[in-house]
Amino acid sequence: MSDSSTFDTNVVTMTRFVMEQGRKAKGTGELTTLLNSLCTAVKAISSAVRKAGIAHL
C-alpha cells in the first residue's frame, strides 16, 4: 500500500458474495438465508461495540 488515501473500489462485500454464490449453486436458499442472518447479527454486534466501547459491554 503505497498511498493510504486511495481506496480499492473493486471490493465484494460478504453479503454480495453470499448472494452471488447462492445464485450459482441453485440450491434451496437456506444456507444463503443463514449466512445473511449471520452477517446481520455480526453488523449489529459491531455497532453495539463501537457505541459502547469494548470495556463497557
Q: Mind listing the pLDDT tens digit for each residue in 12-21?
A: 888 899 888 8
Q: Residue 12 in contact with residue 29, Cβ under 8 Å?
A: no
Query: Residue 57 above 90 pLDDT?
Result: no
Rounded CA Rg of the chain: 16
Percentage above 70 pLDDT, the chain: 88
Domain tally, the chain: 1
The band of 42, judged by pLDDT with boundaries at 50, 70 and 90, is very high
Domain membership flag for residue 6: no
Domain membership flag for residue 24: yes
Q: Residue 32 in contact with residue 15, Cβ under 8 Å?
A: no
Domain membership flag for residue 2: no
Domain membership flag for residue 46: yes
Domain membership flag for residue 4: no
Percentage above 90 pLDDT, the chain: 28
**pLDDT at position 2:** 54
Domain that holds residue 21: 12-53
